[in-house]
Amino acid sequence: MISPVDHHQLVNIIGMSTFPDFMKNTANRIVRANQATPGVEGYVFDGIDGTQMAFWTCSENAESAEQVHDYDEYMLVVQGCYTLIINGKRIPIDSGQEYLIPRGIAHRGEVVAGTRTIHAFGGHRADREGQVNEC
């Protein structure tokens, strides 16, 4: 027998506009000095092998500073649009799309307010508030 559907709960699952509260525990909040993009709030989770997963929400249209990592970066746009810029080439990544940035590649980007992204890093990318002194 199939149980009845709670339509309010279904709308909350399908039409989410924010990450769930358990993913936004203040103990995992990324220190402001580690944010490459202004107006972004992020949370980080660590793998035992030194990899990290980060979840970012952008509250304003913004541009990120150019950065280069010595590890690969995978990104998935959950909601909104992030335009990745590599060697002057603009690569729009829309909701549901993903991109792999190989280690050593200089990149920056532009983000639209309300955009949410998930990133996996092949190394240590971000510290939590309280772990390091903010500048």
Per-residue three-class SS string for the chain: CCCCCCHHHHHHHHCCCCCCHHHHCHHHEECHHHCCCCCEEEEEEECCCCCEEEEEEECCCEEEEEECCCCCEEEEEEECEEEEEECCEEEEEECCCEEEECCCCCEEEEECCCCEEEEEECCCCCCEECCECCC
pLDDT at 134 (0 to 100): 42
Q: Above 80 in pLDDT, residue 1?
A: no
The domains located in the chain, with CATH, are 17-121 (2.60.120.10)
Asked if the model's pLDDT at residue 34 lies above 90, the reply is: no
Range 100-126 average pLDDT = 96
More confident residue, 60 or 11: 60
Would you mind telling me the total number of residues written for the chain in this entry? Answer: 135
Tell me what the pLDDT averaged over the chain comes to.
87
pTM value > 0.95:
no
Q: Are strands 73-79 and 98-101 parallel, antiparallel or unpaired?
A: antiparallel
What is the pLDDT averaged over residues 48-62? Answer: 95
43-67 mean pLDDT: 95
- Is the confidence at residue 36, as pLDDT, over 90? no
Q: How far apart are CA 43 and CA 36, in angstroms?
A: 14
pLDDT above 60 for 71: yes
